[in-house]
Structure 1
Amino acid sequence: MRPSCRRFLRRAAAALAAAAVGAPAAAALSDLKIPPPEIGAEAYALMDALTGEMIAEKNADLQLPPASLTKIMTAYLIFSAVDEQVLELEDMMTVSKRARAAQGSRMFLEEGSSVSVRDLLLGLVVQSGNDAAIALAEGLAGSEEAFVDLMNQQARLLGMADTRFANSTGLNAKGHATTARDMAVLSRALARDYPELYRMHAEREYEYNGILQTNRNRLLENYRGADGIKTGYTRAAGYCLAASAVRHNMRLIGVVLKSRSAARRTAEMTALFNYGFTHFRSVELFAPGQALDELKVWGGAELKVPVGYGGDDAFRILLTKADANSLKAVLQGPARPLEAPVGTGDEVARIKLTAGDRPVADLPAVALEDVAPGPWWHRLADYVRLHWLAPDQPKEAL
């Protein structure tokens, strides 16, 4: 294993933990009356990539063999290594006898040849090369077995609780299993964490060693907005597909496991994407530090304080299309008048989101600046106005 390999995993763990705390999401789908399409595959998951919310699912937690969807994790780890500068895309890796002898789909590597990380990645994601997967695994971690340990560590970091990898390729192996939900989580992370490298998954063909091979993901040519991700097939796994598409500024992630044919998995994913894009919208509403309004401050050095959303990251919400069109936000001031001192980050109000007459979210609103107490005569005047002159009047903050 390369010396920096474990370091980048530790840094990734810290970043993921921060993202989990700092990326609140909300869904308002409990009253949804629009049923998802009938899908014949053994399991599927349809996820909104912005929020991570599941739109539709069937047997999403059923453990099944993933076939070459395994290579999404292989790509994720190599992307991580490139991003952390443990590897460079132009680094050369030597093809071992084991990689050359890989069974199943291949990019036709020659034993002893030196191949760039870029070429191996394209052979992995476009041609689904098992030889490319093993060459990358050995090149980064020293052996495929050590790389598989990294795969399982990363799966735990991403919260893929029902996934266990036994190899880098997806060939049948004892205990090698995942779920539609876990694969959706991984696919979302791939597109989110490494958007530049992720673009490789949209390539429709790739030529290596004089052999031109086409991407088996037919959505890339037949579905507007599709930009990945990976197909898979073994006799045990059936026909599998993890896919992603972007429309209406919304990315959907879909996973189909154990479909009956290559044509069916494409048709099933098309139906799921059509359902998601027709009936749902995901929106990013409030950024941290964005001033939404001002509140009156009594007895302060400033008359008002700017107020904004109190989360650590942007607030995101998944809604039905109808609810998205009727979404309203209201800043509800405090029950008691706001008096100085006020500190940056103090919760001073609530943001109420409604769609039609239905509440969909209740969020903290915080002061965006400090407000110190004003001079004594100003505090006294405000005290008199607040407590003596109008004692029975409601104290409206807005």
Structure 2
Amino acid sequence: MNPILPGGVIGILGGGQLGRMSTFKAKQLGYKVVVLDPTPGCPCGQVADEQIVANFDDEPALRQLAEKCEVITYEFENVDSRAVELLEQLGRKVFPDSQALKISQNRWAEKEFLRRSGVGVADFFKVASLADLETAMQQIGFPGLLKTATGGYDGKGQVVLYNEDDARQAFATLNHPALIWEKKVTFVKELSVICGRNQAGEIVTYPAVENIHVENILDMSLAPAEAPAHVQAEAQRIARTIAEKLKLVGVCGVELFLLPDETILVNEIAPRPHNSGHYTLDACFCSQFEQHMRAVCGLPLGSTDLKGYAVMVNILGTGEGHHLVGLEQVLQNSQLAVHLYGKSSAAAKRKMGHVTALSPHSLAEARDWALEARAKLKWV
């Protein structure tokens, strides 16, 4: 495929913050952007050249998007894969493709794909009936995680299990036709690697970062992760393997568990820009968002080198107020960057923005700056 040159039009399915930050980088490179999202004035729609206000399964709207754009991508996995297949049938290139989307949307398919790819995953068992549940309890054992095979994110659609009564109750509560039982692993760190691959097969990886979650929502990412060089290398090797096997075009977030014996298991993959890669906007020469735009347009990939030690913290809504105060205090530190997503309401636990601190000296210094900054920001 010939590169799409500046002036071309990129379509994005989904209008959240990932699409917004991708759009900024697309426009920096000289492209135009059309977003399809059902919410008028969504974060991406605020900065795109045009928004098609429609549901993701609206066939006339999808046809309109295909007519307007030279290439299409998506910013989250909850887009119906049939919509992507329709766009492909209309002759429009969609990156990552519908096959990558289907794999990432279904935990059964994802685990099977990862296992076939030769990377480590926690033991798992497909659960489609009460009989399957009983078998999973015997074969995989406790503690375990019972998850819906589709639709879960930020900890939704999953239950931690410690005994058989818990398991049977969770099975009834989740009430889902396709579940997966996973062995709950003991890990020392949660890591992730952002990997990019273009249409020519060129692959780049960003450093593995450490992620800290609070109530199943990403709270902080530290780049690079404090880990031995061989752990960094293995994490990046795993991400490259996944990108190759997936025939990825774009970027992919690969979430990992680092075990006490330094074994690395893959938790899940997300074929799109990833929350744990937000630090790259300020800490890398080419951010994950620019990398994604380069890849889908057929351009050479950019440098993933770090400019320093970086710590990203999410800014969440509290359910109280719609205006953020304290920004003037935060911006007095020239080593801080604040990114707000243009969302209209600060609902509790909603991702409203993030702060990245960049230190030339240490992760500890960057972490202190990031946490101090977030503490000064309040919703009123």
Same fold judged by TM-score > 0.5? Answer: no
Bucket of the pairwise TM-score, normalised by the shorter protein: under 0.3
Output the TM-score relative to the length of structure 1: 0.25
- Structure with max Cα Rg: 1
Output the TM-score relative to the length of structure 2: 0.26
